[in-house]
Amino acid sequence: MSSIAQSWQRISAWYAQNTPKDTLVLADGASEAEIAELEAALGQRLPDDVRESLALHNGAANEAYLLYFGELLSTQRMLEVWQMYADMQKSEGWGLGPDYNPDYLQGPLRPVYWDALRIPLTDNCGDGAMLDLAPAAGGHAGQIIEFDHEAGPKGVFAPSFSAWLALLADELEQGKHVYIEDAGCVAPPGTW
């Protein structure tokens, strides 16, 4: 079993034991055609670990949040959110100019609010995790970054998607996250 499959299995097992039934229902995998369609629209090949994960689980079947990062996006939703950002940038100048210079960058992130090489993986009303295909010096193409709709990129979660999934599984099993009933999601204790 691959590390991606193992991480998803660990995450699913934790959710099954620690959250109400159907809090996170992972969808069936995307077809090769669906992944290829996404890549064609993005103009980029996705890293192998992201492709493998999408082939296993094409987002969440129930629009569920992956921890507090937001809805786990399918290939279709990834493209919809990415296209929304691209359209806003083109029509309104969203994310461009000095008003959008990110502050407080932690890790190897380019000081760019958003561009087409940042692909949304989760969406929590504009916040979430993104795949960064063009990091700053010292970073890794395919690193997973935190994105805030008001501040832009904030930090690097992990150097790759597979490392991020393994980290999430580890943190869940170590008790670093709990189900918060009022919020209906999983987050560090005391978050809400």
Could you write out the DSSP letters of every residue in 29-79? PPPHHHHHHHHHHHTSPPPHHHHHHHHH--SBTT--BSTTS-EE--HHHHH
Distance of CA 66 to the CA centre of its chain: 9
Distance (Å, rounded) from C-alpha 35 to C-alpha 51?
7
Distance (Å, rounded) from C-alpha 172 to C-alpha 192?
17
Q: What CATH architecture does domain 3-180 belong to?
A: 3-Layer(aba) Sandwich (3.40)
Distance (Å, rounded) from C-alpha 108 to C-alpha 68?
23
Task: Say what the pLDDT of residue 115 is.
Answer: 92
Q: What is the mean pLDDT of residues 116-132?
A: 96
The average confidence (pLDDT) of the chain is 95
Q: What is the mean pLDDT of residues 1-10?
A: 96
Predicted confidence (pLDDT) at residue 75 exceeds the cutoff of 90: yes
Q: What is the mean pLDDT of residues 67-72?
A: 94
Distance (Å, rounded) from C-alpha 177 to C-alpha 26?
19
Can you give the pTM of this predicted structure? 0.95
Predicted confidence (pLDDT) at residue 101 exceeds the cutoff of 90: no
Higher pLDDT, 97 or 164: 164
Confidence of residue 139 (pLDDT cuts 50, 70, 90): very high
Confidence of residue 43 (pLDDT cuts 50, 70, 90): very high
Domain boundaries, the chain: 3-180
Task: Say what the pLDDT of residue 102 is.
Answer: 85
Q: What is the mean pLDDT of residues 64-82?
A: 96
Q: What is the mean pLDDT of residues 128-143?
A: 97
Task: Say what the pLDDT of residue 191 is.
Answer: 85
Task: Say what the pLDDT of residue 114 is.
Answer: 93
